[in-house]
């Protein structure tokens, strides 16, 4: 795949690096693991709070150590993204902040046990396109680098605690399209545990409303649009398809995510359709992450 990367000055270099190299090379073993296996040990967890609009990545100690070792100045891909997307200066995670324009900050709140690191982004109200690109590109950095471990963590660091499992991975994030076009395309995988939980949500209106409400609130927060004057069900949706697994939709030209493949004994991989902007990308991610968080809170 690296043969297709020609020159950092060419915008297409970033597109191929972000989509082709990441999805087919860097995360190949990771995607197969959570897709095909029913119980993959947790190496990072994604948490979304629709009240504070905070998006957090909580990294296993081994994953965070690898993250800190890998994300060191200078990285050619970071320089390329800064130049071609006209982003703010990138902050490497050796400080208390991280990302383009300090999109993420390290939280002091503990997670389960000592050693886990929490990196949090508070989604701003009505941000401009540049800030949205900075947040999206920073998410891409975290999910890509955190997954590049020689081996997945086998257990929690404290043997007295139950083994934590991976429920959700973000597998691809498009940061740049050729000829300067924007794109919000992304892919993710739900674990078997999330799919088992999904089979129960259709009879629980409160859970469906929580997921849908997370997307509605996030979209209104990012756009500054008052949604009280119209029925959000016309443009937002979480529903079951033929497989009885969730399908997510937000405002746009059928901007949605749907299943692209699944494994009988494992999870399901999703891909985006007509997700053309970072606004749509973050709106859908809010619902997707909220559903995974509910599955963790209500094990089947």
Query: Given pLDDT bands bounded at 50, 70 and 90, which one contains residue 144?
Result: confident
DSSP for 43-60, please give it. SEEEEEETTTTEEEEEE-
pLDDT score for 229:
62
Query: Given pLDDT bands bounded at 50, 70 and 90, which one contains residue 178?
Result: low
Q: Is the pTM of this model over 0.75?
A: yes
Highest-scoring range by mean pLDDT, 164-173, 241-250, 284-293: 284-293
Q: Check whether 250 has a pLDDT greater than 50.
A: yes
Domain ranges of the chain: 2-297
Residue 205 CB partners (closer than 8 Å, separation 6+): none
Rounded to whole angstroms, how far apart are CA atoms 284 and 237? 10
Rounded to whole angstroms, how far apart are CA atoms 98 and 138? 8
């Amino acid at each position: 795949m690296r043969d297709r990367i020609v020159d950092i000055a060419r915008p297409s270099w970033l597109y191929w690096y972000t989509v082709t190299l990441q999805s087919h090379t860097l995360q190949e073993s990771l995607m197969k693991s959570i897709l095909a296996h029913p119980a993959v040990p947790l190496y990072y967890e994604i948490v979304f709070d629709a009240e504070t609009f905070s998006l957090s990545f909580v990294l296993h100690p081994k994953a965070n150590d690898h993250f800190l070792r890998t994300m060191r100045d200078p990285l050619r891909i970071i320089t390329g993204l800064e130049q071609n997307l006209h982003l703010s200066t990138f902050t490497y995670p050796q400080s208390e902040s991280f990302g383009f324009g300090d999109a993420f900050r390290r939280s002091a709140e503990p997670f389960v046990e000592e050693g886990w690191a929490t990196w949090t982004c508070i989604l701003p109200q009505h941000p401009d396109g540049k800030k949205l690109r900075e947040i999206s590109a920073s998410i891409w950095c975290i999910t890509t680098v955190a997954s590049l471990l020689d081996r997945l963590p086998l257990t929690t660091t404290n043997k007295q605690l139950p083994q934590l499992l991976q429920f959700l991975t973000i597998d691809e994030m498009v940061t740049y399209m050729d000829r300067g076009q924007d794109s919000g395309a992304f892919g993710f995988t739900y674990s078997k545990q999330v799919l088992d939980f999904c089979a129960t949500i259709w009879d629980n209106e409160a859970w469906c409303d929580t997921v849908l409400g997370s997307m509605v609130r996030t979209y209104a927060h990012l756009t500054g649009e008052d949604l009280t004057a119209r029925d959000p069900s016309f443009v937002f949706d979480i529903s079951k398809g033929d497989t009885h697994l969730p399908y997510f939709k937000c405002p746009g030209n059928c901007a949605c995510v749907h299943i692209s493949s699944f494994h009988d004994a494992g999870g399901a991989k999703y891909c985006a359709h007509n997700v053309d902007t970072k606004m749509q990308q973050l709106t859908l991610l809010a619902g997707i992450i909220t559903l995974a968080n509910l599955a963790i809170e209500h094990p089947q």
